[in-house]
Amino acid sequence: MAEIRFEAQPVQRPGKSKLNNRIEMLDVILVVLLTGFAVAIILPFLNVIAVTFVTQQEYMKSTILLFPHSFTLENYKSLFEDGRIWTGYRTTLLLLVLGLPLNMFLTTSMAYGLSRPNFPFKKFFIYFVVITMLFSGGIIPMYLLMKELSLINTIWSIVLCYGINSFYLIIMMNNFTTIPISLMESAKLDGAGEWRILAKIILPLSMPIIATMTLFYAVDRWNEWFNAMIFIRKGDLTVLQLALRSIVIDSQISQQMNVSNVQTDKQFSEGMKMSAVIVSMLPIMCVFPLLQKHFVKGMLVGAIKA
Amino acid sequence: MENTLLKKNNSSLISRVLKSKEIYFLILPGVIWYVIFAYVPMYGLSLAFKTYKANLGIFGSPWVGFENFTYVFRDPAFLESVWRTLWINLGRILFQFPFPILLALLLNEIRMNRYKKAIQTVYTFPHFLSWIIVSSVLINSLDMQGFVNGVIQLLGGDPVNFLGNTQIFRPLLYITDNWKSAGWTMIIYLAAITGIDTEQYESAQLDGATRFQIMRYITLPGIQSTIVVMLILTVGNLMNAGFDQIFNISNAATAKAGEILDIYIYRITFQSAADFSFSSTVSLFRSVINFALLLFADRVCKWMGAEGLFPSMKKKARS
């Protein structure tokens, strides 16, 4: 596999003439267009952040709210007093703690197994994986299966239903195939078994892809909500995203009822709702700028292979 | 099972299987997971031909042939949701699909690496948030007292009800979906551009081609196969019109305009007295159509001379 140098300029132009070094009108238009889209992405987030720090009075007064003038933490206070966000955080962290090791164990062991050359039925097992990418049973049989396994209303339903992502598995498998086979052969001569080779040789050599896949799985787990909505109806096992959703929908309803008595309403529902949004995306917001390169790299490895 | 099948005619295969038994132990946990949580549910779609009895389970329920299908196709809400799904997705292909390609082509023209990296970071960020978060953020900006209407009023316009209007519901879907994930899809195209032979660019420049000509006649054809693959995958998803997005961004006013097939399945299964056979029938219909469309799109693309989806998969399988 060729090394992907994403940071490098995609097209090297050695024959650059003087004309091309000049900043053309086109460049200006391009920068304006591209920056415009970036601003369109950033502004809604800035707006959300600003809303969390203002009082209802200021929210109603200002038409375009990007910087809070009166700074208040009341919204966050009422969010944490509400309690649902804590339940959400607890469940999602539990899901990460139980789910991520499972994801990584299943995916790495199977990816390594499948990356070994020429064992009988290798093709069969690869199609076995690929078919699941093209055709899936969907949520109803999954729900009935969980019911028959009596996993409904337990954390295990959402832990187990997302064990392997076939796409990630194939990315990892392709990555393992690039490791020189002589390394494994010599380890075998020394009497090492396949599991040992995986742990002692493959994993240390594949730390970048392991890290990337862990991140991908972690983000997927963090954003888990659909399966949880179907499998778990118990209030104290609400995942973070659904806790957020319930806060958002609740405050929408209270907003509709509060239209007439805006001034008397002490709790500012829009502010609390948006602080819930910020609290839910905070971890991703914090790690994303640092890890974006890994995400992109993982994606590229997959894209080039697929 | 495979061992016994092949014992009769190929003893060397058995010894090869035995020699590779460690590899089978490696893939065993994954295979078990796939069987239970991917293949059993896949088999579970056979409920489409059964009457589900809770005490008998998926495997034990009695077969009824195509009876469920006659019920499903008599449900007007089902047929409506199918057409709505197709209609929404047709718009996605026309209006939403080209946008990431355009972004990649434009960003590729930028030579300031710092700026490029910053832009990529911003563009890809929303992709990593769930639709619950994204819809909350966007609804906050787009509602009547929101930020966007604030700007419109400042410019002297009347506030627009973006979220409760069935007329602009579909454009809203396309725009918000691009807002969330166009940047991420763009990365795929940028990667494809990286793979284009630089010699082509050099000779084009010697011939005095303009930047637009280079983009049109070298870059765009260079990423054609990637575009085709993405298009095939999109067509293979024609029966899924984005459950997560519509579920979170629609409201009481637009619920009807947003009732795509997946939402219909969800509504009849989990929001009313559930008839699991009926829902499985709809679900099977959806999966089969998607799969058929994927194969069909692949065929059409190959027939038109493009590489299509499956050669790359075969290559993968052989490696």
Contact A11 B196 (CB under 8 A): yes
Contacts of B106 in chain A (CB under 8 A): 30, 33-34
The reply to whether A61 and A105 lie within a common domain is: no
The reply to whether A261 and A282 lie within a common domain is: yes
The reply to whether B161 and B107 lie within a common domain is: yes
The reply to whether B10 and B125 lie within a common domain is: no
How many CB pairs lie under 8 A apart between chains A and B? 297
The reply to whether A63 and A209 lie within a common domain is: no
Q: From the candidates A35, A124, A140, which should be mutated to test the interface with B, based on the most B CB atoms within 10 A?
A: A140
The reply to whether B197 and B264 lie within a common domain is: yes
The reply to whether A225 and A100 lie within a common domain is: yes
- Count the domains in chain B: 2
CA distance A55 to chain B (A): 15
The reply to whether B30 and B175 lie within a common domain is: no
pLDDT higher than 80, residue A252: no
* Separation of alpha carbons B87 and B110, rounded Å: 36
The reply to whether B30 and B112 lie within a common domain is: no
- Count the domains in chain A: 2
Question: What would the two tokens of residue B176 be?
Answer: 């918000």
The reply to whether A36 and A119 lie within a common domain is: no
pLDDT for A21 equals 55
pLDDT higher than 50, residue A6: no
The reply to whether B135 and B27 lie within a common domain is: no
Residue B53 lies in a domain: no
Average pLDDT in chain A:
83
Nearest CA to B289 out of B151, B100, B83 is that of: B83
Angle, helices A269-305 vs B131-142, to 10°: value is: 130
Give the range of the structural domain holding residue B16, as residue numbers without chain letter.
1-35
Which of the four pLDDT bands, split at 50, 70 and 90, describes residue B10?
low
Residue B236 lies in a domain: yes
pLDDT for B53 equals 86
Nearest CA to B291 out of A132, A59, A79 is that of: A132
Residue A286 in contact with partner chain B when CB distance is under 8 A: no
* CB-nearest partner of A116 from B23, B33, B124: B23
Region A163-186: mean pLDDT is 89
Contacts of A135 in chain B (CB under 8 A): 42, 287, 291
> For A88-101, what is each residue's pLDDT tens digit?
999 999 999 999 99
pLDDT higher than 60, residue B314: no
**Smallest CA–CA distance from A145 into chain B, residue:** B41
**Smallest CA–CA distance from B198 into chain A, residue:** A11
CA distance A257 to chain B (A): 15
Which of the four pLDDT bands, split at 50, 70 and 90, describes residue B83?
very high
pLDDT higher than 70, residue A40: yes
Region B262-274: mean pLDDT is 86
The reply to whether A201 and A56 lie within a common domain is: no
Contact A137 B188 (CB under 8 A): no
The reply to whether A266 and A303 lie within a common domain is: yes
The reply to whether B99 and B246 lie within a common domain is: yes
> For B85-113, what is each residue's pLDDT tens digit?
999 999 999 999 999 999 999 999 888 88
Question: What would the two tokens of residue B129 be?
Answer: 């948030």
Give the range of the structural domain holding residue A144, as residue numbers without chain letter.
83-306
Q: Is the dihedral of CA A55, A59, A61, A66 positive or negative?
A: positive
The reply to whether A247 and A191 lie within a common domain is: yes
> For A178-225, what is each residue's pLDDT tens digit?
888 888 888 888 888 888 888 888 899 888 889 889 988 999 999 999
The reply to whether A152 and A287 lie within a common domain is: yes
Report pTM.
0.86
The reply to whether B211 and B264 lie within a common domain is: yes
The reply to whether B155 and B90 lie within a common domain is: yes
Which of the four pLDDT bands, split at 50, 70 and 90, describes residue A303?
low
Which of the four pLDDT bands, split at 50, 70 and 90, describes residue B310?
low
> For A253-284, what is each residue's pLDDT tens digit?
655 555 444 444 556 788 889 999 999 999 99
Which of the four pLDDT bands, split at 50, 70 and 90, describes residue A8?
very low
pLDDT higher than 50, residue B214: yes
Region B143-165: mean pLDDT is 87
Encode chain B in three state secondary structure. CHHHHHHCCCHHHHHHHHHCHHHHHHHHHHHHHHHHHHHHHHHHHHHHHECCCCCCHHHHCCECCCHHHHHHHHCHHHHHHHHHHHHHHHHHHHHHCHHHHHHHHHHHCCCCHHHHHHHHHHHHHHHHCCHHHHHHHHHHHHCCCCHHHHHHHHCCCCCCCCCCCCCCHHHHHHHHHHHHHHHHHHHHHHHHHHCCCHHHHHHHHHCCCCHHHHHHHHHHHHCHHHHHHHHHHHHCCCCCCCHHHHHHHCCCCCCCCCCCHHHHHHHHHHCCCCCHHHHHHHHHHHHHHHHHHHHHHHHHHHHCCCCCCHHHHHHHHHC
Contact A135 B195 (CB under 8 A): no
* CB-nearest partner of B119 from A34, A63, A142: A34
Region B246-274: mean pLDDT is 88
pLDDT for B3 equals 52
pLDDT for A27 equals 85
Which of the four pLDDT bands, split at 50, 70 and 90, describes residue A15?
very low
> For B122-142, what is each residue's pLDDT tens digit?
999 999 999 999 999 999 999
Contact A142 B122 (CB under 8 A): no
Region B237-261: mean pLDDT is 90
B52 CB neighbour count, 10 Å cutoff: 22
Residue A37 in contact with partner chain B when CB distance is under 8 A: yes
The reply to whether B13 and B131 lie within a common domain is: no
Dihedral in degrees, nearest 10, Cα atoms B161, B165, B168, B173: 90
Residue A235 lies in a domain: yes
Q: Which residues contact A54 (CB under 8 A, 6 or more apart)?
A: A62, A65, A68, A69, A70, A71, A72, A271
B197 CB neighbour count, 10 Å cutoff: 9
Residue B205's CATH number: 1.10.3720.10
